[in-house]
Structure 1
Amino acid sequence: MNTPFTPETVLTSNAPLINTQRLWQSLMDLARIGATPKGGVCRLALTDLDKQARDLFIQWCEEAGCTVSVDAIGNIFARRPGRDPSRAPVMTGSHIDTQPTGGKFDGCFGVMAGLEVIRTLNDLKLETDAPIEVVVWTNEEGSRFPPCMMGSGVFAGKLDLADTLAKQDERGLVVGEELQRIGYAGSRAVLGHPVGAYFEAHIEQGPILEDQRKTIGVVMGCLGQKWFDLTLTGVEAHAGPTPMHLRKDALVGAAQIVSAVNRIGIESQPHACGTVGCLNIHPGSRNVIPGEVKLTIDFRHLHADKLQAMVDQLQQAIDATCQQHGLGYQLTPTADFPPLDFAPECVNAVRQGAAQLGLSHMDIVSGAGHDAIFIAELGPAGMIFVPCEGGISHNEIENATPQDLGAGCAVLFRAMVNVAVG
């Protein structure tokens, strides 16, 4: 494109402006690094494959005229300068590490969409007042090293750098040493960086947009999460000689708790989820009454009071079940993320961008965790969702169309320009 654009013409244009084919090609090129036979990607954090993907991202950003820096937890920042260097940057990004059987788009779309925003600004010869930054956050998935959202958590001061660098994977390999090994233990400080605004584009990872036939999800916020480990303790006994009415069967109690978690989730709508994801039975013999069962419980809700009410109902169900079956129990909290409302100015910028482009859109909430949750602690933040086929993610068959991805990137472009000028 040779015609100079102004922010005003960009924000009033109903043309996409971004290059959908270029965005798609970048995603496909990135997906070759760690490609799996089923069409997905296995690129775990801080592996050699992660290094290759990071190197490619930096190459592309430098070719686009960006200055690149890396902080002590390995987060990568690619900056396009603005007319006013004193302004805090308008940021976008996500992650490029994947699940062991991950897809091409989870996280990667947000990073490549940010790169496409910079490339489009270059094509249009458009200067912004505030700098633009695209970020690759380290280890969002947590597949290899716990916890998830590691890089953004350290950047936001929610996770301690020293503690995080000391985390180990199942083989005993250490985050800090692996960062050094792949050359991404950066010199930039992790704390104290201002955030003018942050936008994150992402596939929905759920079926709502596809079901409602909408192209853009205007993300209002993220569900709060409370996770627990529950151990139920009964008495192991022979399955033949022990009468039913004299048993202390931990698995029967667990079955009632599983049913209660599901019921609580259903009765707490809208925006509620209740899940038992893991069940461990001891001793695990076909002719022994289970004496101990360990299970995980995951509750989510958009409103803090409703989320706590779900926990209160769980406690009542556990007490009643254990009393009925003569069981003991231990309930241990393992995670607590409060519900998050994204900044109205960012939400409105996304909604206005979708409307300007004539794209079908709807308000939506995120049921999953994203780096935007932590960055929202530092400045105004928002998210953009696009549909994924069947709502399937964290799966090698994860899929999204070039058209939907391009639409999401076009909205991201407008939202960022809207904030970065004036």
Structure 2
Amino acid sequence: MPDLDSRLARSRADLLDEIEQPPLATVRRRATRIRRRRAVTAGAAALALLGVVAIGVRPWQQDTTPSVTATDPSVTAPVYRGGGIDIIGLSPAPVHGLNGPIAEVEFSDEGVGIAAAGCDRNCPPLARTTDGGLSWSSVAQSPTGDGPMDVIAFPAGHWLVQGDRWWSSQTGSTWQVVTPPPATDRAVIEPGELPRVDQPLGAIGVLSWDRGPLGPLATQPGLTARWVAPAPAGDGAWWVGGLVGTAPAVAVSRDSGRSWTTTVLPTPADPAETVTVSTLGVEVYAMARNGAGEVLGIYHSADGGKRFTPTFVASGGDNAPAPFTGDPVPLLDGRLLVIQSAGKPSSWWASADDGKTFIPIVDLPAASWIRRTYAGYVAYGLFGGSWAAFSTDGTNWQKLQLN
């Protein structure tokens, strides 16, 4: 007889199948119309003069000064706009000082986030926001210790921090030291838990916000894991990226880690070190990277990951690795957004053909990389400095009142 979790999973799937959803093509058409209206408003039609730039090109010049579209910056925050992307700048409210450069920002939902400063010893207090980054305050009872802190966001606003010790928090406002239990094999990723790559073995373990690491999954994906998604996909699936031998590969579990489906991707000329996955609906993108972080391959699936098609595979020469940094962002209008650090003429690039070619997005502030968090995306290194912005969809960004 199937267990309760299996029956609940099947009931959830049946319910989702019965709910009528707008076709993705319809959503994309609406998003594209919105982007075009924004482009006309901001004068972004000049992008057409830039043409389409092949992915192998290596420009390195930083952005010029972005244009500000706000009519009264003293009252309204400035807006940096280009290619259908909006970045809302700082408001007149005070900027919270972290007492160190921004090292990590995580959001557990669209409002609640935690930020940590980079540190080697005597780490400064964490900062916390409850309004999407518009205001921040120091966490009075922050974790203490030496070395960098890894902040992990969990469902329902729970938190776990790994430093020289493990710390947990139910709300992010107070913290306590956690002593993890003895590791035992875990049959499933329970609700409220997260998978995590256990290095250097490349296995998938399970984390609990209030107990820390619990132990490895009993059934491992058929690859050496290098990356695991910080949050489940929209359909509840967990994605893992890694290697099968020397070939890039991805694995997905649709039953909370009980079983995995592994797909080996076409191998680029240079050896891959890691593979990451980005999803939006049935659209799935995998990126293989070398040890320097350069993109060796982009692979696209339009059927939820059943079949992947290589859209770019580096082979040397003109088809060299692409210098894109961080995580790619699938947009609602069908484009794929990436950051090219020190790019020319822009850090922000977008592809309308699933990663075959990319067009630079001008008039946006320079950025260094994008990272996926539990509840959205964080762009780091804005304006070439220690600024960051948060977005739940990759299109609308809010610069964080934090530095």
TM-score by length of 2: 0.27
Larger relative contact order (Cα-Cα within 8 Å, sequence gap ≥ 6): 1
Normalised to the residue count of structure 1, the TM-score between the two structures is 0.26
More strand by share: 2
Tell which structure's C-alpha radius of gyration is larger: 1
Of Structure 1 and Structure 2, which has the larger fraction of its residues in helix?
A: 1
